[in-house]
Amino acid sequence: MNTGENLKDYQRVRTLAIRSLFEIIEQSSEGTVIVDRDANIVWMNERYARRFGLESAAVAIGKACESVIPGSLLREVVRSGRPILLDMQDTSKEPLVVMRLPIHDDAGAVIGAIGFALFDELRSLSPMLKRYLSMQEELASTRSLLRARQAKYTFAHFIGTSTASLEVKRRARRSASTDSPVLLLGETGTGKELLAQAIHSASPRAHKAFVSINSAAIPEALLEAEFFGTAPGAFTGADRKGRAGKLQIAQGGTLFLDEIGDMPLPLQSKLLRVLQEKEFEPVGSNEMIQSDVRVIAATSTDLEAAIKRGEFRADLYYRLNVLPIQVPPLRERLDDLPALSEAILEELRSQHELDPPALELLGQHAWPGNIRELRNVLERAALLSDDLILDAGEIRAAIGSLVPVQRAAAVPTEPLANETFSAARERFDRQLIQSTLAQCAGKVPEAAVRLGLGRSTLYKKMAALGIAESPY
């Protein structure tokens, strides 16, 4: 078959398709009308004529479309040459869903228009409308949930310019650009969750959800369902529609596992699978769901000791301990007290200030409750004070039992007789490292932060100086 015959065939098939399309729409619609370039009716089917109270369609021929169909926009279609594909047309009975199309001649000029009344009962569209409204509600719900799950804190909220604080923020900022797990180590009240939120806020996942789950705050029997979610009717009392777990809610974002050291062993093995295989099953389901979450874990317990006691899986520890960050207690960053106190009083919307003796007293307390305790003390002192300047007496009363800070013994710097510079430096390094390790109960990562060294660097120095790991 040559090109000419192909083209002829195409035109024939196109003509047949256009005719079939017109016939199908005309027969299935509630009415059809055609107007000329002056918007006068040249053809109308009988169904449409009866709708507008005419004895027959012939009565409408030659009349302006608006005189027969009040509110018709066919004249606008003829004038603009643009179709109105879906619109609502009011009638004396009920509204119609209509479509209006321009008619062109072979030269492309508009010579008229055709209108189809597609539906006369809007309930014909109700399934589509219901689905649209349902999708809109689901989208609004998702947006609302995402807003509720947005991280509140950034690195600007981690107050402090001490060496320890700057090192923590440096490592945390570096971890934000990766998807590797982060393990935050430190006592309660040191700001681990704040730091986790700051990491999320600085990461490429910041526009997604930040979801937190505390292993110590949820009963063991419910923790698995809270973590993985449940299938419909998974157990007696379960939601018939099923319930999404924290892993599912955090998809695309960050999952913060607080107090990971309190997680039950059976759940630890399932978490390990999530980290390794990137998939999980809701409770009572056989469906495997792909997981796309960045995990940040935190603990105030010694996980290495927990591994030795058989309370924590070693393989999970190594999987989580990719980017460990030791968050120092407040007693090791006392230089940050003035800035922290000012920020806390501002957050409390208090106009109180601390006088110099009060600030000095704050630096004499060991703060076993860390920043959480500092906030409590300042809030109590501000509420009980009649003056805007808080003095040492008011702070002392708010603290209650003062826990003195254990000052590190000074490292002797006097050279020994006939001691070379190299030997004196080696002796000083050894004494400084040993003293710092003693203060940190032998924890090398914590000592490295205090000394401003990388952990691997400290291990190398210890090996070179013959310092064994502490038995603490």
d(CA 102, CA 113) in angstroms, rounded, equals 4
* Res 118: pLDDT: 78
Q: Which of 68-82, 198-212, 242-256, 451-465 has the lowest mean pLDDT?
A: 451-465
Is residue 102 within 8 A of residue 82, CB to CB? The reply is yes
Domain 421-465: give its CATH code.
Answer: 1.10.10
Question: What is the pLDDT confidence band of residue 452, given thresholds at 50, 70 and 90?
Answer: confident
Name the more confident of 451 and 178: 178
Name the more confident of 235 and 135: 135
User: Does position 378 have pLDDT exceeding 50, yes or no?
Assistant: yes
* Res 472: pLDDT: 41
Under DSSP, the state recorded for 59 is: G
Percent of the chain, pLDDT > 70?
86
Tally helices (H) and strands (E) across the chain.
19, 16
d(CA 90, CA 73) in angstroms, rounded, equals 12
d(CA 35, CA 101) in angstroms, rounded, equals 11
Radius of gyration over every alpha carbon of the chain, rounded to an integer in angstroms? 38
Phi first, then psi, for residue 167 (nearest 5°) are -65, -40
* Res 139: pLDDT: 59
E strands, 57-196, where? 84-89, 96-104, 110-119, 182-185
User: Does position 161 have pLDDT exceeding 60, yes or no?
Assistant: yes
Any idea which residue has 């600085």 for tokens? 202
Mean pLDDT of 435-458: 79
d(CA 196, CA 149) in angstroms, rounded, equals 13
Query: Where in the chain are all domains bearing CATH 3.30.450.20?
Result: 3-124
Question: What is the pLDDT confidence band of residue 471, given thresholds at 50, 70 and 90?
Answer: very low
- Name 84's bridge partners: 100
User: Does position 231 have pLDDT exceeding 50, yes or no?
Assistant: yes
Query: Per-residue pLDDT tens for 2-34?
Result: 545 555 577 777 777 777 777 777 776 778 899
* Res 124: pLDDT: 55
d(CA 116, CA 230) in angstroms, rounded, equals 50
Mean pLDDT of the chain: 84
Q: Which of 76-85, 95-104, 239-248 has the lowest mean pLDDT?
A: 239-248
Mean pLDDT of 380-393: 92
Under DSSP, the state recorded for 470 is: P
Q: Of 263, 330, 273, which is closest to residue 301 (Cα–Cα)?
A: 263
Question: What is the pLDDT confidence band of residue 196, given thresholds at 50, 70 and 90?
Answer: very high
* Res 200: pLDDT: 94
User: Does position 226 have pLDDT exceeding 80, yes or no?
Assistant: yes
Any idea which residue has 């105030």 for tokens? 300
Mean pLDDT of 28-42: 89
Q: Are strands 229-230 and 243-244 parallel, antiparallel or unpaired?
A: antiparallel
Give CA angle at 402 (399, 408), nearest 5°.
130
CATH superfamily of the 149-326 domain: P-loop containing nucleotide triphosphate hydrolases (3.40.50.300)
Is residue 180 within 8 A of residue 322, CB to CB? The reply is yes
Under DSSP, the state recorded for 105 is: -
* Res 181: pLDDT: 93
Mean pLDDT of 170-180: 92
Query: Where in the chain are all domains bearing CATH 3.40.50.300?
Result: 149-326
> Options 3.40.50.620, 3.40.50.300, 1.10.8.60, 3.40.50.1220; which CATH number does 330-399 get?
1.10.8.60
Phi first, then psi, for residue 227 (nearest 5°) are -80, -50
Tokens of 111: 């010579």
Q: Of 128, 253, 238, which is closest to residue 179 (Cα–Cα)?
A: 253
Task: Identify the architecture of domain 3-124 in CATH.
Answer: 2-Layer Sandwich (3.30)
Query: Per-residue pLDDT tens for 324-376?
Result: 999 999 998 999 999 999 999 999 998 999 999 999 999 999 999 999 999 99
Phi first, then psi, for residue 266 (nearest 5°) are -60, -35
Name the more confident of 53 and 133: 53
Looking at beta carbons, which pairs linking 63-67 to residues 24 or more positions away fall under 8 Å? 64/39, 64/40, 65/33, 65/35, 65/39, 65/40, 65/41, 66/39
Query: Where in the chain are all domains bearing CATH 1.10.10?
Result: 421-465
Q: Give the DSSP H or E segment for 44.
A: strand 41-44
Query: Where in the chain are all domains bearing CATH 1.10.8.60?
Result: 330-399
Is residue 332 within 8 A of residue 451, CB to CB? The reply is no
Query: In sequence order, what are the residues at sequence separation of 6 or more whose Cβ sits closer than 8 angstroms to the Cβ of residue 135?
Result: none
Question: What is the pLDDT confidence band of residue 216, given thresholds at 50, 70 and 90?
Answer: confident
d(CA 216, CA 232) in angstroms, rounded, equals 26
pTM reported for the whole predicted model: 0.59
Q: Of 126, 102, 161, which is closest to residue 337 (Cα–Cα)?
A: 161
Name the more confident of 62 and 150: 62
Question: What is the pLDDT confidence band of residue 149, given thresholds at 50, 70 and 90?
Answer: low
* Res 413: pLDDT: 56
